[in-house]
């Protein structure tokens, strides 16, 4: 078969002719148990250790106990009621057999998967229907009981775990697909469907989910929407604010707000669903989602390239966007320290020559031959100009998975390196990596590793610092320095992870006082008693 590309660079010995044939959309590899729980399943993410699907080797039984949140952070319990025996009896009427009070079963949902925050909730509820959620919230509202909505509990900022004794309202049993339209690609489903299960469901019907993220095996679509998750397809398919067509939400007082439309366009009144997208469960509980799925591309190609410097990474991105145009679906980068950690902790080997930086480019299109030709021209250009010094390609599922694992499993490698200080920043592209070098110099040997990686195409840097254990002095060297530096660039101190519990007090670095005031007013309007996910998202102090 003659190559479609004019000249295949000699170094690309691992390229295959197969790279121009159609490959199905990658499904990434988990090191943990290969658990794909249907569309949720009776053992939702909270039922197993939330770490397992992310591949960690830390079983909670062996790991040291995590400090209770109020013991590490300066936070005081608000005057909510305490769950009584009468409350349990009343809730048992609403969700019979699904009121969990077994301390062992409550361990996992009280703890975030990063093992950094831990609550002391004594009860977890597992509703199956919107009406059950409505009954629960109506009851809790009347009784002034605080509620912590929880999906897959895969959040990065402590937003999905209780801080004190909030009732955990799990969406794990709300895992039904309600409808799918195979012409429009509109999926309507309950909030507790696991993202990976939804991906499989729509892929079997010729579509893909418009979002994809490392935690797909555990995270719930309702949680994705509640945190306005970004992820790996953002560059191509944009924000959930555009792809979510409708939501059903239960408000703090138990009223059901049904805006579960399946229409692409609807300009009748204020777009209320936007209030709940990214509100992290503080304004209402999302119970169902209508989302537009794009058609499944017939060809997917992944290139993993080494770059000699960050300037070359940026120039590769510019070249890529110009030459690959509409088929570009992801542009990720990682630095040499990241590669070192995935090798050290996960045993993954670098598929190209060692380089200061690596980029992973995914192309997804409808013309395999055309896509391969565009890719070939692009690669020739970046190689000839010295922007890229080495690279490899993948177009079959196995190899695509292998290449994506290098980027996706950085989080996991970091968590094995020690205590991780995580920052998720939006920054101007030109300055995206500056802070990493700056911090290495600033922290010196007090940090074990300072690494930078992320969604370069979206201007989103994941900056992570590891140390053997948590250290207040290291934290003091990092904060507020990182936030002030980011604010100085007019960046965002939370690009996609949200604020949750751990970042709520830094909101002011990215938003002006007038915005904070309006946010507080919205919270007061929608949840006057403040029972929904308290201690999260909005700063503690007025």
Q: Could you say which residues in the range 162-221 bind a copy of itself, by CB under 8 A? A: 183-184
Q: Interface with a copy of itself by CB under 8 A: which range of 8-16, 33-41, 225-233, 340-348?
A: 225-233
Q: Is 257 in the site for a copy of itself (CB under 8 A)?
A: yes
**Residues of this chain, 89-148, that bind a copy of itself according to CB under 8 A:** none
Whose Cβ is closer to a copy of itself: residue 182's or residue 354's? 182
**Residues of this chain, 318-347, that bind a copy of itself according to CB under 8 A:** 318, 321-327
Q: Is 532 in the site for a copy of itself (CB under 8 A)?
A: no
Q: What is the 3-state secondary structure (H, E, C) of 466-485?
A: EECCCCHHHHHHHCCHHHHH
Whose Cβ is closer to a copy of itself: residue 42's or residue 488's? 488
Q: Interface with a copy of itself by CB under 8 A: which range of 41-49, 388-396, 468-476, 492-500?
A: 492-500
Q: Is 17 in the site for a copy of itself (CB under 8 A)?
A: no
**Residues of this chain, 364-383, that bind a copy of itself according to CB under 8 A:** 365-367, 370, 373-374
Q: Is 67 in the site for a copy of itself (CB under 8 A)?
A: no
Helix, strand, coil: what percent of the chain each, to 5? 35, 20, 45
| Gap between the Cα atoms of 357 and 151, Å rounded | 35
- Which of 17, 59, 89, 263 binds a copy of itself (CB under 8 A)? It is 263
Whose Cβ is closer to a copy of itself: residue 228's or residue 301's? 228
CB of 255 to a copy of itself, least distance (A): 6
User: Could you give the C-alpha distances from 220 to 175, 284, 450, in angstroms and in order?
Assistant: 9, 16, 30
Q: Interface with a copy of itself by CB under 8 A: which range of 88-96, 103-111, 472-480, 504-512?
A: 504-512
Q: Is 238 in the site for a copy of itself (CB under 8 A)?
A: yes
- Which of 59, 82, 89, 255 binds a copy of itself (CB under 8 A)? It is 255
Q: Is 267 in the site for a copy of itself (CB under 8 A)?
A: yes
Are 306 and 335 within 8 A, CB to CB?
no
| Gap between the Cα atoms of 403 and 28, Å rounded | 10
Q: Is 266 in the site for a copy of itself (CB under 8 A)?
A: yes
CB of 259 to a copy of itself, least distance (A): 6
**Under the phi-then-psi rule, with left for phi > 0, alpha for psi from -120 to 50, and beta for the rest, what region is 80?**
beta
| Gap between the Cα atoms of 244 and 247, Å rounded | 8
Q: Is 496 in the site for a copy of itself (CB under 8 A)?
A: yes
- Which of 61, 64, 512, 542 binds a copy of itself (CB under 8 A)? It is 512
Q: Is 297 in the site for a copy of itself (CB under 8 A)?
A: yes
- Which of 241, 311, 354, 384 binds a copy of itself (CB under 8 A)? It is 241
User: Could you give the C-alpha distances from 499 to 226, 246, 273, 281, 448, in angstroms and in order?
Assistant: 12, 24, 19, 12, 25
CB 180: neighbour CB atoms within 10 A? Answer: 17
**Residues of this chain, 411-440, that bind a copy of itself according to CB under 8 A:** 426, 428-430
- Identify which of 395, 336, 409 has the alpha carbon closest to the alpha carbon of residue 361: 395
Q: Is 518 in the site for a copy of itself (CB under 8 A)?
A: yes
| Gap between the Cα atoms of 357 and 313, Å rounded | 7
- Which of 110, 287, 411, 492 binds a copy of itself (CB under 8 A)? It is 492
CB of 48 to a copy of itself, least distance (A): 27
| 249 strand-pairing partners | 257, 286
| Gap between the Cα atoms of 333 and 339, Å rounded | 11
Which contiguous run of DSSP H or E holds residue 85? helix 85-94
CB of 322 to a copy of itself, least distance (A): 7
CB of 84 to a copy of itself, least distance (A): 30
CB of 97 to a copy of itself, least distance (A): 30
User: Could you give the C-alpha distances from 76 to 20, 97, 163, 466, in angstroms and in order?
Assistant: 59, 32, 10, 29
Q: How many residues bind a copy of itself (CB under 8 A)?
A: 87
Q: Is 541 in the site for a copy of itself (CB under 8 A)?
A: no
Q: Is 271 in the site for a copy of itself (CB under 8 A)?
A: yes
Q: Which residues contact 138 (CB under 8 A, 6 or more apart)?
A: 253, 254
| Gap between the Cα atoms of 88 and 30, Å rounded | 38
| Gap between the Cα atoms of 516 and 461, Å rounded | 24
Whose Cβ is closer to a copy of itself: residue 44's or residue 459's? 459
Whose Cβ is closer to a copy of itself: residue 351's or residue 368's? 368
- Identify which of 303, 527, 510 has the alpha carbon closest to the alpha carbon of residue 395: 303
Whose Cβ is closer to a copy of itself: residue 129's or residue 298's? 298
Q: How far is residue 98 CA from its own chain's centroid? A: 28
| Gap between the Cα atoms of 219 and 215, Å rounded | 6
CB 400: neighbour CB atoms within 10 A? Answer: 23
Whose Cβ is closer to a copy of itself: residue 430's or residue 484's? 430
**Residues of this chain, 445-474, that bind a copy of itself according to CB under 8 A:** 455, 458-460
- Which of 81, 353, 490, 528 binds a copy of itself (CB under 8 A)? It is 490
């Amino acid at each position: 078969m003659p190559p479609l590309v004019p000249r295949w660079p000699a170094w690309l010995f691992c390229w295959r002719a197969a790279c121009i044939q159609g490959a199905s959309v990658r499904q990434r590899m988990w090191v943990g148990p290969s658990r794909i729980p249907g569309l949720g399943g009776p053992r939702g993410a909270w039922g197993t250790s939330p770490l397992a699907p992310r591949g960690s080797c830390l079983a909670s039984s062996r790991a040291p106990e995590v400090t209770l949140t109020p013991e590490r952070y300066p936070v005081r319990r608000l005057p909510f009621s305490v769950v009584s025996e009468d409350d349990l009896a009343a809730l048992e009427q609403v969700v019979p057999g699904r009121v969990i009070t077994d301390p062992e079963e409550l361990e996992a949902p009280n703890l975030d998967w990063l093992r950094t925050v831990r609550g002391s909730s004594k009860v977890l509820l597992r509703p199956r229907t919107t009406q059950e959620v409505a009954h629960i919230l109506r009851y809790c509202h009347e009784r002034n009981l605080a509620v912590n909505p929880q999906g897959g509990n895969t959040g990065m900022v402590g937003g999905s775990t209780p801080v004190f004794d909030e009732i955990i309202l799990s969406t794990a049993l709300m895992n039904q697909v309600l409808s799918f339209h195979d012409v429009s690609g509109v999926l309507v489903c309950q909030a507790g469907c696991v993202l990976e299960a939804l991906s499989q469901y729509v892929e079997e019907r010729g579509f893909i989910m418009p979002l994809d993220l490392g935690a797909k095996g555990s995270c719930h679509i309702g949680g994705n929407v509640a945190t306005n998750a970004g992820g790996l397809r953002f560059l191509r398919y944009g924000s959930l604010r555009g792809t979510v067509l409708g939501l059903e939400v239960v408000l703090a007082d138990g009223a059901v707000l049904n805006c579960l439309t399946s229409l692409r366009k609807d300009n009748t009144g204020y777009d209320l669903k936007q209030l709940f997208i990214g509100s992290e469960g503080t304004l209402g509980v999302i119970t169902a989602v209508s989302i537009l799925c794009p058609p499944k591309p017939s060809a997917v190609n992944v290139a993993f390239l080494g770059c000699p410097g960050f300037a070359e990474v940026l120039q590769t991105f510019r070249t890529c966007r110009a030459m690959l145009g509409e088929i570009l679906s992801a542009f990720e980068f990682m630095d040499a320290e990241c590669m070192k950690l995935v090798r050290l902790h996960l045993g993954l080997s670098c598929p190209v020559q060692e380089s200061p930086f690596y980029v992973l480019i995914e192309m997804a299109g409808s013309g395999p031959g055309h896509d391969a030709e565009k890719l070939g021209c692009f690669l020739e250009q970046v190689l000839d100009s010295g922007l890229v010094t080495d690279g490899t390609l993948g177009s079959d599922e196995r190899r695509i998975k292998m290449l994506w694992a290098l980027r996706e499993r950085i989080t996991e490698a970091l968590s094995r390196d020690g205590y991780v200080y995580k920052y998720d920043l939006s920054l101007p592209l030109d300055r995206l990596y500056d802070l990493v070098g700056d911090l290495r110099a600033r922290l010196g040997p007090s940090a074990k590793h300072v690494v930078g990686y992320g969604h370069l195409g979206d201007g989103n840097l994941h900056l992570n610092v590891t140390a053997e254990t948590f250290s207040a002095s290291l934290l003091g060297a990092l904060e507020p320095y990182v936030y002030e530096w980011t604010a100085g660039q007019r960046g965002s101190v939370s690009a996609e992870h949200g604020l949750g519990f751990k970042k709520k007090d830094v909101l002011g670095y990215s938003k002006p006082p007038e915005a904070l005031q309006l946010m507080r007013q919205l919270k007061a309007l929608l949840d006057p008693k403040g029972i929904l996910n308290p201690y999260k998202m909005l700063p503690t102090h007025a």
